[in-house]
Structure 1
């Protein structure tokens, strides 16, 4: 049997509330899978990362659809998520489809990147993605980019 999980940042609050309701109505502790306590009681980034750890913990064949999973994750936690994805992928029974703007997540080794920007779906290389280009330009010369951005003021 194939399993899966669809994650959308906008749905996180409702999911966390569902886990809280399940904890009140059940004799087992669902928090065990999500960092040991309510996702609402954790920091935003910590709760997102614990959600991924908990949901990606089974080893059955699965398809995971993640819509902007980086929404609450710092760069360090995005790297931690990459490690979670990698460890899970190594089982050979999972596939991930991820919509992201994160140049960190886009950098996943061996990922097939597809661009939806031109009205059609086209393959794109990592260094050709607008997210990589803009981030690289900013990190290489933040003063220049900010000066250009605010030149009318």
Structure 2
């Protein structure tokens, strides 16, 4: 027998039960409704739950209210979209941990090469 979830509780997640939406939409509802000013947020590969457009929405949400409101983020990501946040420091871990620019990062360059030459890359990967 399921219990009805109180509206006050649901309001804190955008008005819908997180069980009634996709994983990505529930994750985004958390970002939109529970993340606030003056917080520190540690995210591990949020792109796993977010479509490319939602990744861009995350950047907008981070910048618009959260970072400008004193929040800080530590994000472990492979997403060139999230890595493009203009105020970020990017660290790559290979033999050592080193700070790199966006355009120097492996994830940016691999994604750029793939998108600019996807037919050739797909042919090489599937032959």
Q: Scaled by the length of structure 1, what TM-score is found? A: 0.74
Computed over aligned residues only, the root mean square deviation of the Cα atoms, in angstroms, reads 1.8
Q: What is aligned with 2:100? A: 124
Instruction: Give the secondary structure class of the aligned counterpart of 1:34.
Output: coil
Check the 8 A contact 2:7/2:15 in 1, yes or no.
no
TM-score (norm 2): 0.88
Name the counterpart of 2:45: 68
Query: Runs of 5+ in structure 1 lacking a partner?
Result: 1-20
- What's the CA shift for 1:132? 0.9
1:43 and 2:19 aligned? no
Structure 1 residue 28 displacement after superposition: 6.3
> 1:33 touches 1:53 (CA, 8 Å); kept in 2?
no
Please give the secondary structure, in 2, of the residue aligned with 1:36.
Answer: coil
Cα deviations across residues 107-143 of structure 1 (Å, max 9, x unaligned)?
0012111111x23211011112121111111111111
Map of 1:106 onto structure 2: 83
Instruction: Give the total of aligned pairs.
Output: 124
1:137 to 2:113 alignment: yes
Corresponding residue SS for 2:72 = strand
Structure 2 gap ranges (5+):
none
